[in-house]
Amino acid sequence: MIRWRAATVTEIRRSWRGAVEVDVDIDGDGPGRALAYVDLVGRPEPGDRVVLNTTATALGLGTGGYALVVAIPRRPSPDPNGPGHLIKARYTPAQAVVFGVDEQDSPHHAVLAAAESLDGMPVVIADLHSALPAILAGILADRPAARVVYLMTDGAALPLAFSRTVAGLAGLLAGTVTCGQSFGGDLEAVTVHTGLLAARHVLAADVVIVTQGPGNLGTGTPWGFSGVQAGDAANAVATLG
């Protein structure tokens, strides 16, 4: 299920919020490109020995084309010391604790516990992450002062940091919320429902855009496509109103 490799970091390439792209020399496989999520594994430096998951590159999967840094054994990332009791990527070796906007210790817990509606807030739902900038551009062209929040579901990439698109939209989006097993947003939510409510009642969104992250999954069958999650989001919007 997982293809593990050891490697040495040879060069730092580029970085964006939460992620660093590096060149690596993979033991037995030669040069390659890898991505490290800083909040999960720390920030790699040239000369570091790292453990990689190379499953996706071995399969030739399209989005990203990266091996993923699993650990920097000689410089493990610091222990988490902030608040939070929500676990994302649950029961995997990479499960991570986050501070949920809807958990009991959150200062917003009472607001979300009492919230019952989106107050008619418009929600735009798309099946592909690549639609995000076009939708945002259309909204801001019509309503330049609108507070637009992106709600990322967990049908594709789980770390928001994988998205260079979101990093590039900083300053245009009023905020980000990651829900389900996805993580890394300005706010973390358990479900699409609480993610929508948090966007409205905590981030004061005028409009929310809902879509999965980069790297959708498809099988060539009518229902075997991660974008059908858009239907779940539509149901949540209809329920909350």
pLDDT tens string 15-47: 999 999 999 999 999 999 999 999 999 999 999
Q: Could you report the per-residue pLDDT of 92-122, keeping only the tens digit for each?
A: 998 999 999 999 999 999 999 999 999 999 9
CA separation, residue 183 to residues 12, 97, 180 (Å): 24, 9, 8
Q: Hey, which bits of the chain come out as E strands?
A: 4-16, 19-26, 30-37, 49-53, 67-71, 86-88, 96-98, 123-125, 148-153, 175-178, 187-188, 207-212
What's the pLDDT at 78? 81
What percent of the chain lies above the pLDDT cut of 90?
Answer: 88
Provide the CATH number for the domain formed by 4-71 in this structure: 2.40.50.140
Q: Could you report the per-residue pLDDT of 198-214, keeping only the tens digit for each?
A: 999 999 999 999 999 99
What's the pLDDT at 84? 92
Domain range 86-240, its CATH number among 1.20.1070, 3.30.450, 3.90.190, 3.40.50: 3.90.190
More confident residue, 143 or 58: 143
What pTM does this model have?
0.94
Q: Where are the domains of the chain?
A: 4-71, 86-240
What's the pLDDT at 147? 99
Confidence of residue 76 (pLDDT cuts 50, 70, 90): confident
Q: Hey, which bits of 41-186 come out as E strands?
A: 49-53, 67-71, 86-88, 96-98, 123-125, 148-153, 175-178
